[in-house]
Amino acid sequence: MHCLTFQPTVSGKLYSFSTTASQINRRTQIKVINSKSSEHDEKMNETFFISHGRSKIALEESQSHPVRKFFKDWSKDVCCKKPKSILVVSAHWETDQPAVTAAVHSDILYDFHNFSDVLYQFKYPAPMSPDIARRIQELLFASGFDCVHMDKDRGLDHSAWVPLMFMYPEADIPVCELSVQPHLNAQHHFELGRALAPLKDEGVLIIGSGSATHPSDDTPHSYDGVAAWATEFDEWLEKSLTSGRYEEVNKCETKAPNWEVAHPWPEHFYPLQVALGAAGENCKAELIHNSWDHGTMSFGSYKFTST
């Protein structure tokens, strides 16, 4: 048996001990196993679509709103594994071509107006993630997307920082945002998601942040329960997703009932397709929250579990 002898010096004293080659080999194998286990542990098996709600959800006057509790219970009840980083697909960032936030440091955006002054005092000092931005660009280029803009100035808009301040209040996880292209269709955004699927294996939590329904401001409120058109759309969405009819959801512009009322502009729906595409083929969809504002705006939120 071959024996290796080490004689380290600690505080002027000589210590000698011997280790066999077989013991070293055994320790190396354990390190490899532990490394593989660590890689497996960091994988995210789910992607999510959340209805982020209005920015005033952050105010204390909204503390009883059901969606606020949903966000606050996120790490306990919805996504127990802490991600390595977060990618938010934002309904509030519209671009001609895909764009990602690539700033090293940036303040949040107060992308709203005519709200309480208190809203403009909130901070969410999470680190930005230019490394993830570069990885996103790399994956999209590899999947045939011709142009991916790296925005080194933009901070997080309220579709990201409002829910995240409740979901991850420590603000210690790097965050990156991806834009939507509402002049293109749902299938385009599904393909975006498919290209980004490898991020899950790298510990990135992918969240599409929009709204299950997002009617125009002049749509009449329903004070006697949920409006009939909204109920029909919401039920179609849930049944289509939970029964695996994803192709129908990707043709929402022609397949969804009351599409033009539920989404007169589609930017709040397309983050769902990105999350769905990133979950991979044969993923399982689950409704994880639903509540309403004014009987017209659905806070329907979904989990997509990879199989």
Instruction: Kindly report, residue by residue over 150-160, the tens digit of the pLDDT.
Output: 999 999 999 99
Contact status, residue 186 vs residue 249, Cβ threshold 8 Å: yes
Contact status, residue 207 vs residue 89, Cβ threshold 8 Å: yes
Q: In this predicted structure, which of 100-114, 125-139, 231-245 has the lowest mean pLDDT?
A: 100-114
The mean pLDDT of the chain is 88
The pLDDT of residue 35 is 39
In which band, very low, low, confident or very high, does the pLDDT at 55 lie, cut at 50, 70 and 90?
Answer: confident
Question: What's the farthest any 2 CA atoms get from each other in the chain?
Answer: 85
Secondary structure E strands in 31-123: 46-51, 85-94, 99-101
Q: Which two tokens stand for residue 48?
A: 């999510």
The pLDDT of residue 3 is 39
| Adjacent-strand bridge partners of 303 | 48, 286
**For residue range 205-249, what is the model confidence (pLDDT) as tens digits?**
999 999 999 999 999 999 889 999 999 999 999 999 999 999 999
The single-letter DSSP state of residue 186 is H
Contact status, residue 292 vs residue 299, Cβ threshold 8 Å: yes
User: Which whole number is the average pLDDT over 74-82?
Assistant: 96
The pLDDT of residue 18 is 38
User: Which whole number is the average pLDDT over 276-293?
Assistant: 96
User: Which whole number is the average pLDDT over 80-100?
Assistant: 97
Element housing 14 (H / E): strand 13-14
Does the pLDDT of residue 123 top 90, yes or no?
yes
pTM of the model: 0.86
**Between residues 28 and 174, the one the model is more confident about:** 174
Please state the CATH superfamily assignment of the domain spanning residues 43-305 in this structure.
LigB-like (3.40.830.10)
The pLDDT of residue 122 is 93
